[in-house]
C-alpha cells in the first residue's frame, strides 16, 4: 500500500503526480499504437531481476527501429527515485517507450519515455490451490521477440475468456502453441520432462528463471509444444512477472491430469520464491 497519497510517474523527462501525467494526442502510441514496454516487480522496495528487464526493454526498442535514449544507469536512477518517492514496497513498475510526438502522425519522432509504478495483485492461495482454466485461440503475435504495446488481440478476447469462465487464453498456430497475451507456458510431459515453447514467444524473465530452476531437478526441453502435448500432459502451468507460476488444470474442455495442481508446479513455485529472495539480498549488498 502506498504510504502517501501522491503517486509519481516519469513522463518525457519530468517526474510528476500520476494524475497529471499525460501525452499529447500526436504521440504515436495514440495515433498508431506504436510503442514497446517492459514491466518488473518491486518487492520490499527492490526491483527484482532488473538487469534482465532493462536488457529486454532495450532489445524491444531495437526490434521496433527505435533507440532508447537513456543509459541503464539513467533508467536505474529514475526507477530508484520513483521507488523512494512512492514507497509502494510491493508493486509493479512499467516502462513505456513510444514513437513520440509525430509531426505527420506516422514517422517516428524523438521517443516518449514513461515510467510508472502500479499496485500489484498477486494470485491468492485459493487460485494457487485450485489452479485455473484457460481457453485457446489461433493467433501469433506480430513480432514475438518484441514486447510491443499491441494487445489488440488479447483485449479483444477478454469477453470470450470471461464468457467461458476461464482465466486466460493461450495462442497457437497450426497446432503449435506459443504463449498467452502476458504469460509463458510450461508443460510437464508424462515422462517427467519440463517443456516450454521456444519460438513465436516473448522471452519472459520468469520463464528464464523457471527454466534455470527446472534444470537442476528435472529433464528440460525448450522447443516445439503442440496442443496435443498439452492435452496429454501431467501438469501445465504459466509463468509471468506478476503471477510467478500459476497451475492450469483445464484447457478448453480437457481436464489436465487429475485436475489439481501437480508436484512439479508446486516445487518450482517454491524454488522461484527463494530465487526472488536471493535477488533481493544480493541487491541489498551492492
Query: Residue 24, interface with its own copies (CB under 8 A)?
Result: yes
In this structure, are strands 168-173 and 132-138 parallel, antiparallel, or unpaired? parallel
Residue 39: beta bridge partners?
A: 94
Residue 157 and residue 169: Cα distance in Å, rounded? 8
Residue choice 6, 62, 84, 107 for contact with its own copies (CB under 8 A): 107
Residues, the chain = 286
| Phi and psi at residue 32, to the nearest 5° | -140, 15
Q: How far is the CB of 267 from its own copies (least distance, A)?
A: 30
Q: How far is the CB of 252 from its own copies (least distance, A)?
A: 21
Nearer to its own copies among residue 32 and residue 189 (C-beta)? 32
Residue 100, CA distances (Å) to 19, 88, 103, 233 in order: 20, 29, 9, 45
H helices of 33-156, in order, are 50-63, 72-86, 125-130, 152-156
- 10, 78 in Cβ contact below 8 A? yes
Query: Residue 38, interface with its own copies (CB under 8 A)?
Result: no
Residue choice 34, 53, 171, 237 for contact with its own copies (CB under 8 A): 34
Query: Residue 105, interface with its own copies (CB under 8 A)?
Result: yes
Nearer to its own copies among residue 93 and residue 233 (C-beta)? 93
Query: Residue 285, interface with its own copies (CB under 8 A)?
Result: no
In this chain, which stretch among 96-104, 198-206, 210-218, 232-240 interacts with its own copies, using CB under 8 A?
Answer: 96-104
Contacting its own copies within 211-270 (CB under 8 A): none
Query: Residue 156, interface with its own copies (CB under 8 A)?
Result: yes
Nearer to its own copies among residue 101 and residue 237 (C-beta)? 101
Task: Give the three cell numbers for residue 20.
Answer: 497529471
Query: Residue 16, interface with its own copies (CB under 8 A)?
Result: no
What distance lies between CA 184 and its chain's CA centroid? 8
Residue 22 and residue 166: Cα distance in Å, rounded? 34
Nearer to its own copies among residue 77 and residue 142 (C-beta)? 142
Query: Residue 9, interface with its own copies (CB under 8 A)?
Result: yes
108-113 contacts at long range (C-beta below 8 A, 24 or more positions apart): 108/28, 108/34, 108/65, 108/66, 109/28, 110/69, 111/61, 111/66, 111/67, 111/68, 111/69, 112/11, 112/12, 112/23, 112/27, 112/29, 112/35, 113/10, 113/12, 113/13, 113/68, 113/69, 113/70
Residue choice 67, 71, 152, 254 for contact with its own copies (CB under 8 A): 152
Could you tell me how many residues of this chain bind its own copies (CB under 8 A)?
Answer: 45
Residue 36 DSSP one-character state:
E
Interface pattern 56-85 for its own copies (x via CB under 8 A): --------xx--------------------
Residue choice 76, 94, 208, 221 for contact with its own copies (CB under 8 A): 94
Nearer to its own copies among residue 161 and residue 272 (C-beta)? 161
Contact residues: its own copies, CB under 8 A:
9, 11, 18-19, 21-25, 27-35, 64-65, 94, 96, 98-99, 105-108, 114, 116, 118, 139, 142-143, 148-156, 158-159
Amino acid at each position: 500500500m502506498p504510504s502517501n497519497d501522491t503517486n509519481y510517474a516519469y513522463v518525457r523527462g519530468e517526474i510528476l503526480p500520476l494524475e497529471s501525467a499525460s501525452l499529447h494526442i500526436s504521440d504515436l502510441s495514440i495515433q498508431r499504437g506504436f510503442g514497446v514496454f517492459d514491466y518488473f516487480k518491486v518487492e520490499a522496495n527492490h526491483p527484482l531481476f532488473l538487469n534482465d528487464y532493462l536488457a529486454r526493454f532495450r532489445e524491444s526498442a531495437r526490434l521496433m527501429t527505435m533507440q532508447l535514449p537513456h543509459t541503464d544507469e539513467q533508467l536505474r536512477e529514475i526507477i530508484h527515485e520513483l521507488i523512494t518517492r512512492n514507497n509502494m514496497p510491493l508493486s509493479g513498475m512499467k516502462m513505456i517507450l513510444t514513437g513520440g510526438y509525430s509531426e505527420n502522425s506516422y514517422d517516428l519522432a524523438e521517443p516518449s519515455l514513461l515510467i510508472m509504478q502500479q499496485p500489484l495483485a498477486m494470485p491468492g492461495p485459493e487460485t494457487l490451490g485450485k489452479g485455473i482454466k484457460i481457453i485457446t485461440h489461433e493467433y501469433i503475435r506480430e513480432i514475438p521477440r518484441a514486447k510491443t504495446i499491441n494487445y489488440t488481440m488479447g483485449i479483444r478476447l477478454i469477453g470470450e475468456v470471461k464468457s467461458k469462465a476461464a482465466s486466460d487464453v493461450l495462442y497457437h498456430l497450426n497446432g503449435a502453441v506459443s504463449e498467452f497475451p502476458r504469460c509463458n507456458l510450461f508443460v510437464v510431459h508424462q515422462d517427467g520432462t519440463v517443456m516450454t515453447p521456444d519460438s513465436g514467444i516473448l522471452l519472459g524473465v520468469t520463464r528464464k528463471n523457471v527454466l534455470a530452476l527446472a534444470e537442476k531437478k528435472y529433464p528440460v526441453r525448450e522447443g516445439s509444444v503442440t496442443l496435443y502435448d498439452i492435452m496429454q500432459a501431467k501438469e501445465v502451468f504459466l509463468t509471468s512477472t506478476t503471477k510467478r507460476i500459476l497451475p492450469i488444470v483445464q484447457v478448453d474442455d480437457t481436464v489436465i491430469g487429475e485436475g489439481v495442481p501437480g508436484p512439479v508446479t508446486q516445487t518450482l513455485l517454491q524454488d522461484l520464491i527463494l530465487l526472488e529472495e536471493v535477488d533481493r539480498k544480493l541487491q541489498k549488498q551492492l
